[in-house]
Structure 1
Amino acid sequence: MELKTKPISLRFGRRLYYFQYQEQLYWLKMQMKQGHHIYQQGFQHELAFYQESLNSTSLSSIILPCEIVSKAFIASRAVDIEIEQSLAQMLILPHAVPYFTVSARTLPIASIQDYLLRALDVIQGLHETGWIHADLKPEHFVEYQGQVKLIDFEQVQSMTQQVKTEMNATPRYMAPELFHGEVKTIQTDIYALGIIFYEWLSGQRLSAKNYTDWAYLHCQRLQIELPEKFLGFQSLLLKMLAKHKEARFDNIYAIKQALVSEIA
């Protein structure tokens, strides 16, 4: 097994391993007992979501096929990993190809519309099952066996939950209201998706030095500047990225309708 954990996650007790079994590539995700309590809670939350998905045909079209295994099962088959210090269960997922790696500049407008629609489809499917992802970012979209899927459900939240926001989202993709401690909603997923689309179309990542700068950027200073080729997407992004959530699209279906009907 090859350790692939990001340095900051490694310090907080997260372990992510990449391995091959019977000519197939997989990921093993686990959390150490002595790791940060927020990371422990997130991992347990994700395991619970995947456990629920095993009995849901609706969720099966959104997520990767998964297996939740005990550390005793892994310990009998692997060495050189910190099994004894890990939490009781671990998550195994097949390898999937990152979705937002194709350069938008190489695609005609019609192909871009289709590309964005496929991403919208999977988010719409998640929302229709009664969940919001609550931590959307480009790396959480993957393609597996010809279908777009979502990964990383540590912050996933039922739409019936009304939980005040902890600072557990990624500032680069946080909607303005989250910086004021409001609850996550469909509109916060839509805002994050708008930033993902904007960065993909513009070919540039937003930048800020610290959390305060991110708050100023999203709450006051964000300006949408697209290459001339993509100006037809400007009004769509502006409505996805409206500072006030009431001014954003009501749902993913409305975004899809605008994407199809307004962009020639």
Structure 2
Amino acid sequence: MSTILVTGGTGNLGALVVTRLRDQGHEVRVLSRHSPEFPVDLRDGSGLDAAMAGAEVVVHCASSPRGGDEQAAGHLIRAARRSGTVAHVVYISIVGVDVVPLGYYETKLRVERLLEGSGLGFTILRTTQFHDLVAEVVDRVAKLPVALLPKGVRVQPIAVEEVADRLAELAVAAPAGRVADMGGPEIRTLEEWGRSYLAARGRGRRVVPVPLAGKAYGGFRRGGNLTPSRAVGRTTFAEFLERRG
């Protein structure tokens, strides 16, 4: 069995990956600033060398739309090189990072490029947005009397559990470069998803699609965030809502 580091191992996706790998019998180290065993700060790299000692695989799930991903990846890669034992870094990315000019997407793409040039074995998995993100977006706008959502933006949500299954599978396999994307089973506009979500929650908000401006919005309107040929997800949004109760 392997010793595997999981960054972001207490998050929505990372915690599921940790559980799956431990269930398979692997030693899993969860990296966190507040971990009693492996206190690590990816922002400056402190604690990484101790956490990496003897590890063979890193699953990099830690990410923040507020910034710092590129620097964190740099610290992680350099520590993995210094360890002399890490042979494989698995990275979770997003479908469309190379075609939708959104700042967060562009950062994710730069992290992909860092891994490709790192000299380490790596695997990159791109997926569409999680069901949870769609629900979070709609919840946020539904705090107003009218739910305003970007007009004409289609979304292909996927279950986070299915992505965790795939990451755990990739972590114990050989480095594979960029693997096939994963997309959810259905594609609908965000306003359609919004109406479905609010109806399921019994919330009487009217959904109003609003046209926006900018290159990022144009990228989403063109479907850069979609992968219809890789609609491999099984759990529908309705099933996700039912499971959430």
TM over 0.5: same fold?
Answer: no
Q: TM-score if structure 1 supplies the norm length? A: 0.28
Q: Which structure has the higher relative contact order (CA within 8 Å, separation 6+)?
A: 2
> What TM-score do you get using the length of structure 2 for normalisation?
0.30
More helix by share: 1
